[in-house]
Structure formats: structure tokens, C-alpha cells
A and B are shown apart, each in its own frame.
Chain A
């Protein structure tokens, strides 16, 4: 019988939640790496017991952990992330040039085909690659040396590369996103990159349709339709049907189109989920009601999903990497909150249950569907 394994990275450690395919009774293991911030954990799709975790601390810096037994035991691998050559500068908050400085890894993306290959998205924005299971890392410098890079500026959370999407039909294609530079795509395995921000409109910019400078919060893709991308921007929910060459707004009837998390149903590529957040200065749900919104039409027409979610006095946030979907026949949707809850809907969003309620603030949620 199938089972699921939820990897929850939190502000104070990692937790692993497991259940059978009914997704009703859960076992929790953790905290792993007690006291450390776990920005992201993700398993290799071709070696499911190999899990990578990005572990960081304001005191002790960045570490990368790897498990080869499904999270039972862990060992540190390399956390030596050196920019290739002289890093150069990007723009600082005051508009002055500021040298690139490595701070942490926000996102880990294992290869779709090789368990030894894994990508790491870093702050200050850069993409690193390992081909030996994390034992060494090499920057793919073409992104950081893109002609637009000296003009990139950090978002409020830092200049982080937080989204890495690998195209299952084209091993040369990688899509990434950076706050607050925007989305970029490589069609040659990461050697060269181009901004893919046409159609984005960011009113906080002097030129709202500028080539770069957009605060892209997250991008999601259904592997069946890799040219279709869904984006939660700072404000605005967007879609592209040509791998990012052109974006169209699909916020439609959302009560607020600010938010961080976005994901796509595993079996229905036009069914999309977002968690609307009140505003850029009020990072909590509208009216204290935690609502996931679902569109079954690829955007524009959204319905609130509330059954089992708190509908009063709820002022948590759902961060950009804290939503995921499983691959069971009845697709499960999961998200974690800054209040320490991890919610699961085993039926595509119709009904929700908190599978744990008192974790530290949840930074990321990934789900594995196991045979």
C-alpha cells in the first residue's frame, strides 16, 4: 500500500511525518538538527530514501545534511559554497553596489534522474550544483554573471534564490526565481540564463514592467505540462504557457492576490492552489480566516477551501516553500504555517486536518509518495 512522508523544515529543526495512503493517522519523528533553521528538505525522486536538508544558523552558518535511509540517520556533507571567481556586486537597499556574500541555502532540488546530482539555491542569489551527492558544490556562474545581475536588489528576506524547477522533458531547461530580481530560465543546463519576466507588472518599480526587479515569491509546475508555470508574485498570481516567455495575470476573483505559496494538483494540471495573505505589510490571512483558494480552470476563477481550517482569529503566514502535493490517486495537498501547524487535505482541498499543531514556525513542506 502506498504511503506518504512529509518533510517539514522549521525555524528550530526538521520533522518527518509519515502516514499510510489514508493520510489519517500520522507518526512524527524529530526534531532533527535541534535548534537549527531548516530552510528546506527534499528527497531524490529516483532514490526516495536519499533526503537532503539545508541546515543553517545565525551563529554557526550553513550546513547540508544527507540521509540515505529515509531520514532515520543523517550525516553532514559539504557546505562549502564558493562563488566562482570574484563575485562582483549587486545593488544594496540604498542603491549602492554591494559585494555578493554567501549567507544560506534556501532551496535544494535533487535531479530528476541521478541521485548523485542536486542543485542548491543560495542567498546571495546563485545556483550551485553537486554531482557527488553533496560532497562538493560548484557554482553555475552564468546566472550570477547575467548582464542584469549588477542591478539586482534583495527583497526584505534577502536576495535569495528560492525556486528551482527542473523540466522532466528537457534536461537542459531549468527555471529559477530570485527575490527581488525575478524569474530566469536556462535552456543549456545552467550555462546561460535569460530573465523571463515579460507580463509581470510591479507597481513598486519605477518601471513596473522592467526586465528584472520583480519580487517573485514562488513558481510551481505540473510535470505533465512543463511549459505551463504558475507564479505567486509579491502581489498578483500569474501563469505562463510558454515556459515563462510571457506571463498573464490570473488573480481573477481572489480576495487578495498577495501571498507566498502556490502549487498545482498532481493529476489535474489546471487545478491550482494559493493561500491569499492580506498584504505586504500584514502577513496573515484576510479577516483572520485561513483559506486555501483553488482554481480548477487554471486561474481567474477561484473558490475558497475552508473545511477544517480555522475561520477566526488566525494570524499565521504560509511561506513560499511550505506547500506541497502528493501523487496518490486522490491528490493530497499539504501546507505548513508560521504558527507551527501542518495541514493535510487528502482529497484535493475539500477537507483539511492539522496533522500536527505545535511545531516551530514551518519554513518548508515537501511530500514524498512512497510505494
Chain B
């Protein structure tokens, strides 16, 4: 079991009524992957279902990105293990709204 730090964009923090800062801490069983982290995130905060990945297909929403350790993990398999520094709690998994996706 690892304690994973997940950094969320401000609109999702407000939506989920998270007031403890930009990060949430989640317990995730090994192997720690994007899929498992998001499963844990949605279990802890069900109102985030559908905001990061599609509720049915579980595919990443088009204008969401996953960064960690200065790497863009968005197009990696959601079942790839996350970097060691994320698993060790030294770095967060960053969920980011892409610089696109709005009308103004």
C-alpha cells in the first residue's frame, strides 16, 4: 500500500469541495498505476466520476492531462506503473486541464 499524492485542478477541487489544498492523499495498492489512482480518487470523491475520465469507457477525457516527474504520462497505458518518486510520495501525480477545451 502506498500513499499517493494527486494534484487536482482548481475547478475540480471546488467541485469536490476539497478544501485541504491542491493535493489529495490516497492509499493505493501495488502496482500503482493511473487507473488504480483514479479508481481510489473516485471512490474517495464520487463527485469526480466523469470529470477526469469517461464514466463508462474509463478513457481519459480529451482535455485532461496526466503529468509526473516532469513527464507527460497522458498517452501512456493507464496500467503502466507510475514513477518510483510518485509511489514513494516524493512527487505528485498531476491531473491537469489542458490549455484548450473552452469557448472563452
Q: Do A and B bind each other?
A: yes
Interface string of B42-55 (1 = CB under 8 A from A): 00000101111011
Top 5 A-B residue pairs of the complex, sorted by shortest distance between their CB atoms: A58-B101, A60-B51, A59-B97, A76-B47, A59-B101
Q: Which residue of the partner chain, among A11, A37, A60, contacts B97 with CB atoms under 8 Å? A: A60
Once the chains bind, are B97 and A80 in contact (CB under 8 Å)? Answer: no
Known contacts A76-B47, A82-B56; is A60 also within 8 Å of B103 by CB?
no
Q: Which residue of the partner chain, among B9, B51, B98, contacts A61 with CB atoms under 8 Å? A: B51
Chain A contacts for B102, CB-based, 8 A: 57-59
Once the chains bind, are B56 and A60 in contact (CB under 8 Å)? Answer: no
Chain A contacts for B54, CB-based, 8 A: 61
How many chain A residues sit at the interface, stated as a range, is 10 to 19
Once the chains bind, are A76 and B61 in contact (CB under 8 Å)? Answer: no
In the complex, B67 has a CB within 8 A of chain A: no
Once the chains bind, are A76 and B15 in contact (CB under 8 Å)? Answer: yes
Question: Chain A's interface: helix, strand, loop or mixed, by majority?
Answer: loop
Question: Chain B's interface: helix, strand, loop or mixed, by majority?
Answer: loop
- Bound-complex Cα distance A34 to B9 (A): 13
In the complex, B73 has a CB within 8 A of chain A: no
In the complex, A67 has a CB within 8 A of chain B: no
Chain A contacts for B104, CB-based, 8 A: 11
Known contacts A58-B103, A60-B11; is A80 also within 8 Å of B49 by CB?
yes
Interface residues of B (CB under 8 A from A): 9, 11-12, 14-15, 47, 49-52, 54-56, 61, 63-64, 97-98, 100-104
- Bound-complex Cα distance A61 to B56 (A): 13
Chain B contacts for A58, CB-based, 8 A: 63, 100-103
- Bound-complex Cα distance A58 to B104 (A): 11
- Bound-complex Cα distance A11 to B55 (A): 24
In the complex, A295 has a CB within 8 A of chain B: no
In the complex, A35 has a CB within 8 A of chain B: yes
- Bound-complex Cα distance A82 to B57 (A): 11
Once the chains bind, are A63 and B11 in contact (CB under 8 Å)? Answer: no
Chain B contacts for A80, CB-based, 8 A: 49-50, 55-56
- Bound-complex Cα distance A11 to B100 (A): 16
Interface residues of A (CB under 8 A from B): 11, 33-37, 57-63, 76, 79-80, 82
Known contacts A11-B103, A80-B55; is A59 also within 8 Å of B98 by CB?
yes
Once the chains bind, are A35 and B101 in contact (CB under 8 Å)? Answer: no
Once the chains bind, are B50 and A79 in contact (CB under 8 Å)? Answer: yes
- Bound-complex Cα distance A82 to B49 (A): 14
- Bound-complex Cα distance A254 to B66 (A): 53
Once the chains bind, are A62 and B63 in contact (CB under 8 Å)? Answer: no
Once the chains bind, are A62 and B50 in contact (CB under 8 Å)? Answer: yes
Chain B contacts for A34, CB-based, 8 A: 11, 14
- Bound-complex Cα distance A136 to B97 (A): 27
Residue among B14, B50, B104 with the most chain A CB within 10 A? B50
In the complex, the chain A residue whose C-beta lies closest to that of B10 is A35
In the complex, the chain A residue whose C-beta lies closest to that of B9 is A59
Chain B contacts for A76, CB-based, 8 A: 15, 47
Distance between B38 CB and nearest chain A CB, rounded to angstroms: 14
- Bound-complex Cα distance A36 to B49 (A): 16
Once the chains bind, are B11 and A36 in contact (CB under 8 Å)? Answer: yes
Q: Which residue of the partner chain, among A11, A33, A37, A63, contacts B51 with CB atoms under 8 Å? A: A63
Once the chains bind, are A61 and B50 in contact (CB under 8 Å)? Answer: yes
Chain B contacts for A59, CB-based, 8 A: 9, 11, 61, 63-64, 97-98, 101-102
Once the chains bind, are B47 and A60 in contact (CB under 8 Å)? Answer: no
In the complex, the chain B residue whose C-beta lies closest to that of A37 is B103
Q: Give 8 CB contacts A-B under 8 Å.
A: A59-B98, A60-B64, A61-B50, A61-B51, A61-B54, A63-B47, A80-B55, A80-B56
- Bound-complex Cα distance A11 to B103 (A): 9
- Bound-complex Cα distance A127 to B91 (A): 44
- Bound-complex Cα distance A82 to B51 (A): 15
Distance between A54 CB and nearest chain B CB, rounded to angstroms: 13
Distance between A74 CB and nearest chain B CB, rounded to angstroms: 10
